[in-house]
Amino acid sequence: MKKITNDVQNVVWDMLHGFYFEHKDRISYDSKHNIIYRKDLAEIQQDVVILSGGGSGHEPAHFGYVGEGMLSIAVSGQIFIPPTPEQILAAIRMVDKNKSVLLIIKNFKADVDCFLAAESIAKKEGRSVDHVIVNDDVSIEDDVTFNKRKRGVAGTIFVQKILGAAATEGYSLQQLKEIGSSVISNLHTLGVALTPANNPTQKEVSFTLENNEVYYGIGIHGEKGYRKETFVSSEKLAIELMNKLKSIYRWKKGDKFAILINGLGATPTMEQYIFANDIRRLAQLESIDVRFFKVGSHLTSIDMKGISLSLLKIEDPNWEKWLKADVRVSSW
Protein backbone atom coordinates (compact mmCIF):
# COMPACT_ATOMS: atom_id res chain seq x y z
CA MET A 1 0.00 0.00 0.00
CA LYS A 2 1.63 3.22 -1.18
CA LYS A 3 0.88 6.12 1.14
CA ILE A 4 2.01 9.70 0.57
CA THR A 5 3.87 9.96 3.85
CA ASN A 6 7.44 10.32 5.11
CA ASP A 7 8.53 9.06 8.53
CA VAL A 8 5.42 7.30 9.77
CA GLN A 9 6.09 8.56 13.31
CA ASN A 10 5.60 12.12 12.10
CA VAL A 11 2.44 11.86 10.00
CA VAL A 12 0.28 13.93 12.36
CA TRP A 13 2.90 16.62 12.84
CA ASP A 14 3.59 16.79 9.08
CA MET A 15 -0.10 17.02 8.27
CA LEU A 16 -0.84 19.74 10.82
CA HIS A 17 2.10 21.81 9.57
CA GLY A 18 0.70 21.56 6.06
CA PHE A 19 -2.74 22.61 7.24
CA TYR A 20 -1.39 25.46 9.33
CA PHE A 21 0.61 26.81 6.39
CA GLU A 22 -2.58 26.89 4.28
CA HIS A 23 -4.57 28.79 6.91
CA LYS A 24 -2.02 30.80 8.83
CA ASP A 25 -3.87 34.05 8.17
CA ARG A 26 -6.70 32.97 10.49
CA ILE A 27 -5.41 29.88 12.37
CA SER A 28 -2.70 29.27 14.94
CA TYR A 29 -0.91 26.02 15.70
CA ASP A 30 0.62 24.72 18.92
CA SER A 31 2.99 22.12 17.52
CA LYS A 32 3.93 20.82 20.97
CA HIS A 33 0.37 19.72 21.74
CA ASN A 34 -0.98 19.37 18.19
CA ILE A 35 -3.61 22.02 18.73
CA ILE A 36 -5.15 24.02 15.89
CA TYR A 37 -7.04 27.10 17.13
CA ARG A 38 -8.50 30.38 16.07
CA LYS A 39 -5.84 33.04 15.74
CA ASP A 40 -8.26 35.51 17.32
CA LEU A 41 -9.01 33.20 20.27
CA ALA A 42 -8.08 35.86 22.82
CA GLU A 43 -10.49 38.37 21.26
CA ILE A 44 -13.56 36.28 20.46
CA GLN A 45 -16.73 37.70 21.94
CA GLN A 46 -18.71 34.58 22.80
CA ASP A 47 -18.88 33.42 26.44
CA VAL A 48 -18.49 29.73 25.63
CA VAL A 49 -15.65 28.35 23.57
CA ILE A 50 -16.31 25.08 21.69
CA LEU A 51 -13.42 22.60 21.79
CA SER A 52 -13.28 19.22 20.10
CA GLY A 53 -10.73 16.71 18.91
CA GLY A 54 -9.86 13.07 18.73
CA GLY A 55 -7.54 10.66 17.06
CA SER A 56 -6.05 11.51 13.67
CA GLY A 57 -7.05 9.64 10.52
CA HIS A 58 -10.48 11.28 10.39
CA GLU A 59 -9.49 14.39 8.42
CA PRO A 60 -10.74 16.99 7.84
CA ALA A 61 -12.18 16.26 11.32
CA HIS A 62 -11.60 18.12 13.43
CA PHE A 63 -9.11 20.85 12.50
CA GLY A 64 -11.02 21.56 9.29
CA TYR A 65 -13.91 22.86 11.41
CA VAL A 66 -11.94 25.42 13.38
CA GLY A 67 -13.08 28.96 12.71
CA GLU A 68 -15.81 31.50 13.23
CA GLY A 69 -19.17 29.80 13.80
CA MET A 70 -17.93 26.30 14.58
CA LEU A 71 -14.98 25.09 16.71
CA SER A 72 -12.55 27.47 18.34
CA ILE A 73 -9.99 24.78 19.17
CA ALA A 74 -9.27 21.24 17.85
CA VAL A 75 -6.78 18.83 19.43
CA SER A 76 -5.31 15.96 17.41
CA GLY A 77 -4.08 12.65 18.76
CA GLN A 78 -1.98 10.15 16.89
CA ILE A 79 -3.69 7.95 14.29
CA PHE A 80 -6.85 6.45 15.80
CA ILE A 81 -5.59 7.38 19.30
CA PRO A 82 -7.21 10.25 21.18
CA PRO A 83 -5.17 13.20 22.37
CA THR A 84 -3.76 12.76 25.86
CA PRO A 85 -5.30 14.55 28.87
CA GLU A 86 -2.18 16.75 28.83
CA GLN A 87 -2.86 17.85 25.26
CA ILE A 88 -6.53 18.51 25.99
CA LEU A 89 -5.69 20.39 29.17
CA ALA A 90 -3.21 22.54 27.28
CA ALA A 91 -6.03 23.38 24.86
CA ILE A 92 -8.47 24.27 27.64
CA ARG A 93 -5.83 26.47 29.27
CA MET A 94 -5.60 28.54 26.08
CA VAL A 95 -9.00 29.99 26.90
CA ASP A 96 -9.43 33.04 29.16
CA LYS A 97 -10.36 31.90 32.65
CA ASN A 98 -13.49 34.04 32.63
CA LYS A 99 -14.90 32.12 29.68
CA SER A 100 -16.44 28.64 29.67
CA VAL A 101 -15.37 25.69 27.56
CA LEU A 102 -17.65 23.03 26.08
CA LEU A 103 -15.96 19.79 25.00
CA ILE A 104 -17.50 17.77 22.15
CA ILE A 105 -16.35 14.16 22.59
CA LYS A 106 -16.89 11.19 20.31
CA ASN A 107 -18.12 8.19 22.29
CA PHE A 108 -15.12 5.88 22.40
CA LYS A 109 -13.91 4.80 25.81
CA ALA A 110 -10.38 6.11 25.30
CA ASP A 111 -11.66 9.47 24.04
CA VAL A 112 -14.12 9.89 26.88
CA ASP A 113 -11.49 8.95 29.48
CA CYS A 114 -8.92 11.41 28.17
CA PHE A 115 -11.33 14.33 27.75
CA LEU A 116 -12.98 13.85 31.15
CA ALA A 117 -9.60 13.56 32.88
CA ALA A 118 -8.62 16.91 31.39
CA GLU A 119 -12.00 18.41 32.30
CA SER A 120 -11.62 17.27 35.88
CA ILE A 121 -8.21 18.91 36.28
CA ALA A 122 -9.41 22.08 34.59
CA LYS A 123 -12.34 22.31 36.98
CA LYS A 124 -9.97 21.97 39.93
CA GLU A 125 -8.12 24.94 38.48
CA GLY A 126 -11.34 26.91 38.82
CA ARG A 127 -12.37 26.74 35.21
CA SER A 128 -15.90 26.38 33.89
CA VAL A 129 -15.84 23.30 31.65
CA ASP A 130 -18.52 20.85 30.59
CA HIS A 131 -19.00 18.34 27.77
CA VAL A 132 -21.35 16.51 25.45
CA ILE A 133 -20.67 12.96 24.24
CA VAL A 134 -21.77 12.14 20.70
CA ASN A 135 -23.00 8.55 20.26
CA ASP A 136 -24.76 8.63 16.89
CA ASP A 137 -23.58 5.25 15.58
CA VAL A 138 -26.46 2.76 15.50
CA SER A 139 -24.49 -0.14 14.15
CA ILE A 140 -25.22 -3.39 15.93
CA GLU A 141 -22.85 -6.10 17.15
CA ASP A 142 -24.23 -8.62 14.67
CA ASP A 143 -27.49 -9.45 12.95
CA VAL A 144 -28.69 -11.45 15.94
CA THR A 145 -27.97 -9.58 19.15
CA PHE A 146 -29.01 -6.06 18.07
CA ASN A 147 -26.70 -4.70 20.72
CA LYS A 148 -26.20 -1.08 19.65
CA ARG A 149 -22.68 0.21 19.56
CA LYS A 150 -23.34 3.92 20.06
CA ARG A 151 -19.93 5.09 18.96
CA GLY A 152 -19.41 8.72 18.00
CA VAL A 153 -19.06 9.02 14.24
CA ALA A 154 -19.89 11.39 11.36
CA GLY A 155 -22.94 12.96 13.02
CA THR A 156 -20.42 14.66 15.32
CA ILE A 157 -19.96 17.25 12.57
CA PHE A 158 -23.61 18.32 12.86
CA VAL A 159 -23.21 18.67 16.64
CA GLN A 160 -20.11 20.81 16.13
CA LYS A 161 -21.88 23.01 13.58
CA ILE A 162 -25.03 23.48 15.63
CA LEU A 163 -23.24 24.19 18.91
CA GLY A 164 -20.66 26.37 17.17
CA ALA A 165 -23.39 28.54 15.66
CA ALA A 166 -25.42 28.61 18.88
CA ALA A 167 -22.36 29.64 20.89
CA THR A 168 -21.98 32.76 18.73
CA GLU A 169 -25.52 33.75 19.76
CA GLY A 170 -24.53 33.92 23.42
CA TYR A 171 -26.08 30.81 24.93
CA SER A 172 -24.67 29.73 28.30
CA LEU A 173 -22.59 26.61 28.92
CA GLN A 174 -25.58 24.87 30.53
CA GLN A 175 -27.87 25.83 27.64
CA LEU A 176 -25.37 24.63 25.04
CA LYS A 177 -24.97 21.33 26.86
CA GLU A 178 -28.76 20.89 26.82
CA ILE A 179 -29.00 21.80 23.14
CA GLY A 180 -26.20 19.35 22.38
CA SER A 181 -27.83 16.53 24.37
CA SER A 182 -31.13 17.11 22.64
CA VAL A 183 -29.48 17.09 19.19
CA ILE A 184 -27.52 13.95 20.00
CA SER A 185 -30.63 12.05 21.09
CA ASN A 186 -32.13 12.74 17.64
CA LEU A 187 -28.98 11.93 15.65
CA HIS A 188 -28.19 8.50 14.18
CA THR A 189 -25.57 7.26 11.74
CA LEU A 190 -24.85 4.04 9.88
CA GLY A 191 -22.00 3.32 7.48
CA VAL A 192 -20.81 0.80 4.92
CA ALA A 193 -17.28 -0.05 3.79
CA LEU A 194 -16.19 -1.17 0.33
CA THR A 195 -12.55 -1.44 1.43
CA PRO A 196 -10.83 -1.42 4.84
CA ALA A 197 -8.75 1.49 6.11
CA ASN A 198 -4.96 1.21 5.82
CA ASN A 199 -3.44 2.65 8.95
CA PRO A 200 0.15 3.65 8.09
CA THR A 201 1.25 2.93 11.67
CA GLN A 202 0.03 -0.67 11.56
CA LYS A 203 0.95 -3.53 9.28
CA GLU A 204 -2.38 -5.32 9.32
CA VAL A 205 -5.85 -4.17 8.36
CA SER A 206 -8.61 -4.90 10.87
CA PHE A 207 -10.81 -6.73 8.38
CA THR A 208 -10.62 -7.89 4.79
CA LEU A 209 -13.24 -7.93 2.06
CA GLU A 210 -13.52 -9.93 -1.10
CA ASN A 211 -13.43 -8.02 -4.37
CA ASN A 212 -17.23 -7.98 -4.58
CA GLU A 213 -18.09 -7.53 -0.91
CA VAL A 214 -19.30 -4.66 1.23
CA TYR A 215 -19.46 -4.53 5.02
CA TYR A 216 -22.37 -2.80 6.77
CA GLY A 217 -21.99 -1.14 10.14
CA ILE A 218 -18.22 -0.72 10.22
CA GLY A 219 -16.62 1.77 12.60
CA ILE A 220 -14.37 4.70 11.79
CA HIS A 221 -11.27 2.97 13.18
CA GLY A 222 -11.74 -0.11 11.07
CA GLU A 223 -13.99 -1.85 13.60
CA LYS A 224 -15.84 -4.76 12.05
CA GLY A 225 -19.42 -4.34 10.86
CA TYR A 226 -22.54 -6.42 11.34
CA ARG A 227 -22.91 -8.07 7.94
CA LYS A 228 -20.91 -8.69 4.79
CA GLU A 229 -22.82 -8.84 1.57
CA THR A 230 -22.15 -8.97 -2.14
CA PHE A 231 -22.08 -5.48 -3.63
CA VAL A 232 -24.96 -4.81 -6.01
CA SER A 233 -25.50 -1.07 -6.45
CA SER A 234 -25.53 2.31 -4.75
CA GLU A 235 -29.29 2.02 -4.42
CA LYS A 236 -28.97 -1.26 -2.52
CA LEU A 237 -26.57 0.35 -0.02
CA ALA A 238 -28.92 3.31 0.36
CA ILE A 239 -31.92 1.05 1.02
CA GLU A 240 -30.08 -0.96 3.69
CA LEU A 241 -28.87 2.12 5.57
CA MET A 242 -32.15 4.01 5.22
CA ASN A 243 -34.25 1.03 6.35
CA LYS A 244 -32.14 0.53 9.45
CA LEU A 245 -32.50 4.19 10.35
CA LYS A 246 -36.23 4.09 9.62
CA SER A 247 -36.63 1.25 12.11
CA ILE A 248 -35.10 3.52 14.76
CA TYR A 249 -36.91 6.77 13.99
CA ARG A 250 -40.28 5.28 12.96
CA TRP A 251 -40.84 8.59 11.20
CA LYS A 252 -44.16 10.02 10.14
CA LYS A 253 -44.88 11.76 6.85
CA GLY A 254 -43.63 15.34 7.00
CA ASP A 255 -41.14 14.79 9.82
CA LYS A 256 -38.24 17.19 9.36
CA PHE A 257 -34.69 15.89 8.93
CA ALA A 258 -31.17 17.06 8.27
CA ILE A 259 -29.06 14.54 6.36
CA LEU A 260 -25.30 14.08 6.13
CA ILE A 261 -23.82 11.80 3.44
CA ASN A 262 -20.21 11.24 4.44
CA GLY A 263 -17.40 9.82 2.30
CA LEU A 264 -15.04 7.72 4.40
CA GLY A 265 -11.77 8.83 2.82
CA ALA A 266 -11.23 7.32 -0.62
CA THR A 267 -14.76 7.62 -1.99
CA PRO A 268 -14.83 9.78 -5.12
CA THR A 269 -17.13 12.81 -5.09
CA MET A 270 -19.03 11.36 -8.05
CA GLU A 271 -19.98 8.25 -6.07
CA GLN A 272 -20.93 10.29 -3.00
CA TYR A 273 -23.41 12.27 -5.10
CA ILE A 274 -24.83 9.17 -6.78
CA PHE A 275 -25.49 7.68 -3.34
CA ALA A 276 -26.88 11.06 -2.23
CA ASN A 277 -29.33 10.92 -5.11
CA ASP A 278 -30.52 7.48 -3.98
CA ILE A 279 -31.07 8.85 -0.47
CA ARG A 280 -32.95 11.82 -1.95
CA ARG A 281 -35.31 9.46 -3.77
CA LEU A 282 -35.85 7.25 -0.73
CA ALA A 283 -36.56 10.31 1.43
CA GLN A 284 -39.13 11.46 -1.10
CA LEU A 285 -40.75 8.01 -1.18
CA GLU A 286 -40.99 8.15 2.61
CA SER A 287 -42.37 11.70 2.45
CA ILE A 288 -39.97 12.98 5.05
CA ASP A 289 -39.12 16.67 4.83
CA VAL A 290 -35.41 17.11 4.18
CA ARG A 291 -34.60 20.62 5.46
CA PHE A 292 -30.83 20.34 5.17
CA PHE A 293 -28.66 18.05 3.08
CA LYS A 294 -24.88 17.85 3.06
CA VAL A 295 -22.52 15.66 1.04
CA GLY A 296 -18.75 15.28 1.38
CA SER A 297 -15.82 13.57 3.06
CA HIS A 298 -16.29 15.18 6.47
CA LEU A 299 -15.22 12.58 9.01
CA THR A 300 -13.15 9.87 7.41
CA SER A 301 -11.36 6.67 8.23
CA ILE A 302 -8.00 7.29 6.52
CA ASP A 303 -8.36 5.76 3.04
CA MET A 304 -11.43 3.62 3.56
CA LYS A 305 -13.67 3.47 0.53
CA GLY A 306 -17.19 3.68 1.86
CA ILE A 307 -19.94 5.98 2.93
CA SER A 308 -22.05 6.78 5.95
CA LEU A 309 -25.55 8.19 6.32
CA SER A 310 -26.43 10.42 9.27
CA LEU A 311 -29.94 11.60 9.98
CA LEU A 312 -30.92 14.27 12.46
CA LYS A 313 -34.61 14.59 13.27
CA ILE A 314 -35.14 18.33 13.60
CA GLU A 315 -37.10 18.93 16.80
CA ASP A 316 -36.27 22.63 17.05
CA PRO A 317 -36.25 25.05 14.07
CA ASN A 318 -33.13 26.64 15.54
CA TRP A 319 -31.18 23.50 14.65
CA GLU A 320 -31.90 24.07 10.98
CA LYS A 321 -31.01 27.74 11.30
CA TRP A 322 -27.69 26.87 12.96
CA LEU A 323 -26.86 24.21 10.37
CA LYS A 324 -27.40 26.81 7.65
CA ALA A 325 -25.63 29.67 9.42
CA ASP A 326 -22.57 31.23 7.79
CA VAL A 327 -19.27 29.83 8.94
CA ARG A 328 -15.59 30.49 8.23
CA VAL A 329 -13.85 27.12 8.39
CA SER A 330 -11.98 25.20 5.72
CA SER A 331 -14.11 22.08 5.42
CA TRP A 332 -17.79 22.65 6.25
Tell me whether residue 17 is one of the annotated catalytic residues: no
Binding status of residue 300 toward its own copies by CB under 8 A: yes
Nearer to its own copies, 268 or 317 (CB): 268
Three-class SS state of 172: coil
Nearest to 189 by CA among 331, 84, 88, 311: 311
| Contact flag: residue 60 with its own copies (CB under 8 A) | yes
Residue 306 CA: distances (Å) to CA of 195, 219, 266, 273, 326: 7, 11, 7, 13, 29
Q: Which is nearer to its own copies, 139 or 234 (CB)?
A: 234
Closest CB to its own copies among residues 78, 182: 78
The nearest distance, CB 293 to its own copies, in angstroms, is 5
Residue 112 per-residue DSSP state: H
Q: 104 vs 237, which CB is nearer to its own copies?
A: 237
**What does the alpha-carbon distance between residue 331 and residue 315 come to, in Å, rounded to a whole number?**
26
DSSP SS3 for 290: strand
- What is the rounded distance in angstroms from the CA atom of residue 54 to the CA atom of residue 280? 31
**Per CB under 8 A, which region of 81-89, 140-148, 172-180, 292-300 contacts its own copies?**
292-300
Give the span between the Cα atoms of 312 and 245, in whole angstroms. 10
70 binds its own copies (CB under 8 A): no
Taking CB under 8 A as the criterion, which residues in 76-135 touch its own copies?
A: none
DSSP for 12-69, please give it. Answer: HHHHHHHHHHHHTTTEEEETTTTEEEETTGGG---SEEEEEEEEESSTTTTGGGBSBT
| Catalytic member of 58, 131, 188, 298 | 58
Among 9, 22, 243, 287, binds its own copies (CB under 8 A): 22
Shortest distance, CB of residue 249 to its own copies, whole angstroms?
A: 20
221 is catalytic: yes
CA distance linking residue 71 with residue 136, whole number of Å? 19
Of residues 225-244, those binding its own copies (CB under 8 A): 231, 233-235, 237
Question: Looking at 34, 35, 49, 59, which residue binds its own copies (CB under 8 A)?
Answer: 59
Three-state DSSP at 9 gives helix
Write the binding mask 262 to 291 for its own copies: x where contact by CB under 8 A, - elsewhere: ---xxxxxxxxxxxxxx-x---------x-
Which of residues 60 and 85 has its CB atom nearest to its own copies in the complex? 60
* Mask for 183-202, x = binds its own copies (CB under 8 A): -----------xx-------
Residue 156 in contact with its own copies, rule: CB under 8 A: no
Q: How far is CA 325 from CA 169, 183, 296, in A?
A: 11, 16, 18
Cis peptide before 83 (omega within 30 of 0): no
Report the distance separating Cα 129 and Cα 195, nearest Å: 39
35 vs 295 by CB, closer to its own copies: 295
Q: Determine, following the binding rule CB under 8 A, whether residue 67 of this chain makes contact with its own copies.
A: no
Closest CB 322 distance from its own copies, rounded Å:
16
Name the residues that contact its own copies, by CB under 8 A: 1-6, 11, 14-19, 21-22, 56-57, 59-60, 64, 194-195, 211-212, 214, 231, 233-235, 237, 265-278, 280, 290, 293-295, 297, 300, 302-303, 305, 307
